[in-house]
Amino acid sequence: MTLHREGKSLLISSLLIVLVINGLVAYFFPENAYLREAIVVITSLFYLIILQFFRVPARHTEINPKHIIAPADGKVVVIEEVEEPEYFKGKRKQVSIFMSPLNVHVNFNPISGIVTYFKYHPGKYLVAWHPKSSTENERTTCVVKHENGTEILFRQIAGALAKRICWYVKEGDAVTQGQEFGFIKFGSRIDIYLPLDAEICVNIGDKPVGSETVIAKLR
C-alpha cells in the first residue's frame, strides 16, 4: 500500500501542526505528564485518520469488455432507472456508490475506451446522499465509449466534506478498465449510468471494492 500524491501537502502540514501542538504542550506544561500523553494520543489519532484517507491499496482488475467494474470503494446507495439530462438525455440505469471518509477515495475507470465527453461543474456541497447532490453539487461528468460502441457515464460528486475533486483524464484520452482516473477528498459519491439492458450485479447496501467488483454486465 502507498500514499496518494493528492495528500502530500496536507500530510506535511498536518504533521507540522501535530508537532507544534505537542511541543507547545510540553513547553507550557512540563510537569503534567498525563496531559502531555493525552495530547500525544489525540494528535496521533488525528494524523492517522488523515493518513489512512490517502492510502492507495494494491488492486487487481480482470479486464473484461462486458463487465462494468466499481469505480470506487464504498456502499451502494442507489439502483434505479432515471432520466440522464446532461449527455444521454434519456433513460438509463443508475448505480450510485457512497464513499465515507474511511473509504479509499481513489476513483477507477469502470470500462476501457475513449473519453468522448468530460465536464467539470462547480456547485454546492450538499451531503452526498442527498437526491439533488447529483445535479447541484460540485461534480464532474465523464463518458467513456468502448470499442463495441457502448458509452458509460460516471460522475464524481463532492459531498459535505469534500471540497476538491481531482481528475486525470480529458476528452480524447484512451483509458483502461481499472486505471485510476481521479480522486475525491473526503466523503463523496460516484454515480454510474448504464444502458437499460445492463444486468446489475450488486444490491443496495453492498460494499464494492474499487477496480475489482463487477457492478454490472453488458448484454
**Sequence spans of domains, the chain:** 2-56, 67-217
**Would you name the residues annotated as active-site residues?**
188
For the whole prediction, is pTM greater than 0.85?
no
Please give the Cα distance from 101 to 186 (Å, whole number): 5
116: closest CA among 85, 153, 155, 69? 153
> Homologous superfamily of 67-217 in CATH?
Glucose Permease (Domain IIA) (2.70.70.10)
pLDDT tens for 62-115 read 999 999 999 999 999 999 999 999 999 999 999 999 988 788 889 999 999 999
pLDDT tens for 56-76 read 888 889 999 999 999 999 999
Contacts of 12 (CB under 8 A, 6+ apart): none
Query: Residue 68 half-sphere exposure, CB side, CA atoms within 13 Å?
Result: 26
